[in-house]
């Protein structure tokens, strides 16, 4: 067996002590037949995620500065330290399914014009609106066949990533996989989701309001605005508008409502609220729950505020590496 890794598995983590060992074990089991390396890219976890990962004998790299934490920085950090011909992207709360690697490699080797491939996703029963909604829309979020981007990660061809300059945008707090997909399509590549299991995912157990507060504090809700800002002046800006259209429409709507409120015209303000009432009604009927309708509005409103925040946030150069360190087992204990 060659010492040079054929596959690099990248696991991005932030406080994933509950699942990181299971994630590593599932990947190691599926990659046993291939020369491989496993890299855990940690965003300065405050629990013992790094210690647990180091004890598993994998490479652990960590950010130096907490202000660099975001969804997009993890896999880019792994990529900077990686050697594999193929890059497997996972999160620390995922478990790699048995059938994926063999099927994914066969597809990629037979289709050189594809830059990445993923598979079906299994989710547990969520305890908050975000994850319950995500499970209800799982076939829409993770569509089979050719697709615009691979939500949740996938197996990527290194040569394709080298062609577009970087793996994931180190400044995006969300939508980093969408941004990656857009750049790959611009470079002439395709993406595909196979009808085979890829990973199972453990949902957050926070309540709906607690989850929204967490998403705001972590700046995840700024993802749509940051995606738009990252694409400003680039050929794929229109593609980012397509991806963020729901958040953008809701943002424009709330700006209109606010303008009507400031106008002092009660009639116009009342009329401006009619689309909101209709939207809640439609969501209530669709989900057979008034709470689901209200939660949907609350969620979109939070993303609207995040979109504006993201648009106003300067982004780092995605080609510049974040400051980072390779973590030893002794370092992880400190």
Say how many C-beta atoms besides its own lie within 10 A of residue 13's C-beta: 27
What does each C-alpha distance from 55 to 39, 41, 88 come to in angstroms?
13, 15, 21
**7-205 CATH choice from 3.30.300.30, 3.30.230.70, 3.40.50.720, 3.90.550.10:** 3.90.550.10
- pLDDT reported for residue 203: 64
pLDDT above 70: residue 205? no
Q: Tell me the C-alpha distance between 69 and 76, whole Å.
A: 12
49-70 pLDDT, tens digit per residue, is 999 999 999 999 999 999 999 9
Q: Mean pLDDT, the chain, as a whole number?
A: 91
Cross-strand pairs, 88 = 9, 155
227-259 pLDDT, tens digit per residue, is 999 999 999 999 999 999 999 999 999 999 999
Residue 183 CA neighbour count, 13 Å, CB half: 21
- pLDDT reported for residue 294: 83
- pLDDT reported for residue 1: 43
CB 9 within 8 A of CB 95: no
Tokens of 57: 């004998």
Q: What is the mean pLDDT of residues 43-49?
A: 95
279-319 pLDDT, tens digit per residue, is 888 888 887 878 778 888 888 899 999 999 999 999 999 99
Q: What is the mean pLDDT of residues 202-219?
A: 81
In the structure, what pLDDT confidence band is assigned to residue 139 with cuts at 50, 70 and 90?
confident
pLDDT above 70: residue 331? no
pLDDT above 70: residue 5? yes
* Closest C-alpha among 325, 309, 316, 312 to residue 65: 325
Q: What is the mean pLDDT of residues 263-276?
A: 91
72-122 pLDDT, tens digit per residue, is 999 999 999 999 999 999 999 999 999 899 999 999 999 999 999 999 987
CB 130 within 8 A of CB 299: yes
pTM above 0.85, yes or no: yes
CB 221 within 8 A of CB 215: yes
CB 326 within 8 A of CB 50: no
The single residue listed with the structure tokens 């990529």 is 79
Q: Are strands 59-63 and 114-123 parallel, antiparallel or unpaired?
A: unpaired
pLDDT above 80: residue 140? no
Classify burial at 34, counting beta carbons within 10 Å of its beta carbon; exposed 0-12, middle 13-18, buried 19 or more. middle
Q: Tell me the C-alpha distance between 94 and 154, whole Å.
A: 12
Q: Are strands 86-91 and 59-63 parallel, antiparallel or unpaired?
A: unpaired
Residues of the chain with CATH 3.90.550.10: 7-205
Q: Tell me the C-alpha distance between 282 and 265, whole Å.
A: 27
Q: What is the mean pLDDT of residues 159-172?
A: 97
pLDDT above 70: residue 131? no
| Helix pair 223-231, 176-186: axis angle to 10 deg | 30
Classify burial at 14, counting beta carbons within 10 Å of its beta carbon; exposed 0-12, middle 13-18, buried 19 or more. buried
- pLDDT reported for residue 324: 96
Q: What is the mean pLDDT of residues 142-154?
A: 93
Q: Tell me the C-alpha distance between 136 and 158, whole Å.
A: 33
pLDDT above 60: residue 332? no
Q: What is the mean pLDDT of residues 2-11?
A: 89
The single residue listed with the structure tokens 């976890």 is 45
């Amino acid at each position: 067996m060659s010492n040079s890794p054929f596959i690099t598995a990248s696991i991005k983590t932030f406080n994933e002590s509950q699942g990181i060992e299971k994630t590593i074990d599932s990947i190691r089991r599926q990659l046993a037949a291939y020369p491989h390396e496993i890299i855990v890219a940690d965003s300065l976890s405050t629990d013992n995620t790094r210690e647990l990962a180091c004890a598993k004998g994998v490479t652990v790299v960590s950010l130096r500065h907490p202000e660099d934490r975001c969804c997009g920085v993890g896999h880019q950090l792994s990529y900077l330290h990686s050697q594999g011909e193929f890059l497997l992207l996972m999160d620390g709360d995922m478990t790699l399914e048995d059938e994926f690697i063999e099927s994914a490699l066969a597809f990629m080797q037979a289709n050189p014009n594809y830059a990445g491939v993923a598979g079906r996703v299994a989710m547990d029963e969520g305890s908050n609106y975000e994850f319950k909604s995500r499970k209800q829309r799982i076939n829409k979020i993770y569509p089979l066949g050719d697709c615009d981007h691979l939500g949740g990660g996938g197996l990527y061809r290194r040569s394709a990533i080298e062609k577009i300059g970087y793996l994931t945008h180190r400044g995006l707090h969300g939508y980093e996989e969408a941004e990656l997909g857009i750049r790959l399509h611009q470079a002439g590549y395709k993406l595909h989701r196979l009808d085979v299991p890829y990973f199972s995912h453990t949902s957050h157990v926070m309540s709906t309001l607690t989850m929204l507060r967490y998403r705001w504090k972590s700046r995840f809700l700024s993802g749509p605005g940051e995606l738009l800002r990252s694409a400003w002046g680039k050929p794929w800006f229109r593609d980012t508008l397509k991806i963020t259209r729901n958040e953008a429409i809701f943002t424009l709507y709330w700006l209109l409502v606010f303008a009507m409120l400031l106008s002092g015209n009660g009639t116009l303000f009342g009329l401006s609220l009619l689309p909101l009432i209709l939207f809640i009604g439609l969501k209530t009927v669709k989900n057979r729950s008034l709470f689901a309708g209200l939660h949907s509005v609350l969620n979109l409103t939070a993303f609207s505020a995040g979109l504006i925040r993201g648009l106003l946030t300067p982004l780092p150069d995605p080609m510049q590496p974040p400051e980072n360190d390779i973590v030893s087992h002794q370092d992880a204990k400190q």
